[in-house]
Amino acid sequence: MAKWGQGDPRWIVEERADATNVNNWHWTERDATSWSKSKLQQLLVGIAVGNEAGSCEISDLKQVEGEASCNSRKGKLIFFYDWNITLSWTGTMKESGEKHEGSVEIPNLSEENEVDDTEISVSKKKGDGEVLKELMRTEGTSKVREALRDYLKVLKTEFTLGMILPTKTSAGPELAVKKKLSENNVQDSVLPISLDTVGVKIPTVKILLKEMFDSPVEELYSIFITKELVQKFSKSRAVIEAKRGGKLQMFDGCVTGEYIELVLKPSLLINILLNIVLSLFPEHYATVALNFKDRATQTELQLECKGVPVCNEDSTRQCWQKQHFEEIRVLLQQTKVNAD
């Protein structure tokens, strides 16, 4: 077999300890199914349209069946995805305030068809409100297609980072993800798939969020460390071992991590520190610090998330705001109603 710089490039083996997939020639595959389900939830739920007759919103991802994967061969990426998606929508008539609901069916989103050619059908439960159905069939369908295009875009960009390994000829500054970064809190992290002394540099950011909750400190804290409560607000199975070194897993494995520290100082400060791993970068940790501060009748939650890959900044921020904070507020409200 030829050494580096000699012979047929298909059979070149770089002088390195493991000679792993040099020149990206061998077939590799990454399962994108769980990641895709989470991403489709983020992009589709909450889509809203309106006109003079009323307004409609995608309220739930009722069903998502199928799979997705990305494969690397000969330095090229090949995508496979096949989805059968059912969405629920709700609508309100502007003048009467009458409520209506229905479904959006996407029976075959796959690489075999362009998004513009993908069938999308809208149905409504019995009764009046055909004008809302028409609103969803026209403007709603257009926004759904836009969200599907966004899904395919991030599938082919965000999800694939790190799949094409660098070779000696490509190693260097050009390995860094090229993106204009205006934030001052950007730093480079090295994903541990190095080729000898060559690593893939990933620019990361720090996310800072502050939220107020109508809840005592201890009640809000318990939601983050109690398995049953985590499963309620995340609407998915979870593994919660709230102790130093304990495991954390949420959203069907899309987020995994480990508790570093839990500090409880009643009426003053509660702190949770943990490392999390996003499914996109299975060996790269981001560090999350949650500080709970008592503000009389409310609790102020301060979040600091460091080491988030730049390409995941928006989705990570949205995940905390939509799939954590908003859902926790719903859970707190339900608890209050049940108590009354």
Q: 81-136: per-residue pLDDT in tens?
A: 999 999 999 999 998 999 999 999 999 999 988 999 999 999 998 878 899 999 99
DSSP structural state of residue 326: I
Q: What is the pLDDT of residue 179?
A: 41
Average pLDDT of the segment spanning 59-72 = 91
Mean pLDDT estimate for the chain: 77
How do residues 248-307 score in pLDDT, each as one tens digit?
Answer: 888 777 778 888 888 765 433 445 555 555 544 555 678 888 888 888 889 999 998 888
- Split at pLDDT 50, 70, 90, the class of 328 is very high
CA distance linking residue 69 with residue 78, whole number of Å: 9
DSSP structural state of residue 95: T
Q: Is the model's pLDDT at 323 over the cut of 80?
A: yes
CA distance linking residue 26 with residue 121, whole number of Å: 41
DSSP SS3 for 106: strand
Residue with tokens 């599907």: 148
| More confidently predicted of 228 and 19 | 228
CA dihedral 304, 307, 311, 317 (to 10 degrees): -10
Cβ(318)–Cβ(189) under 8 Å?
A: no
Nearest partner of 139 among 52, 210, 231, judged by Cα:
52
CA distance linking residue 68 with residue 81, whole number of Å: 4
- Whole-model pTM: value is 0.50
Q: How many CB atoms lie within 10 A of CB 5?
A: 11
CA distance linking residue 200 with residue 70, whole number of Å: 19
CA distance linking residue 184 with residue 320, whole number of Å: 22
Average pLDDT of the segment spanning 153-169 = 67
Structure tokens at 134: 């028409």
CA distance linking residue 237 with residue 302, whole number of Å: 25
CA distance linking residue 222 with residue 230, whole number of Å: 9
| More confidently predicted of 265 and 9 | 265
Q: Which residues contact 26 (CB under 8 A, 6 or more apart)?
A: 73
Q: How many CB atoms lie within 10 A of CB 226?
A: 14
Average pLDDT of the segment spanning 146-159 = 88
Q: What is the pLDDT of residue 268?
A: 37
Q: What is the pLDDT of residue 81?
A: 94
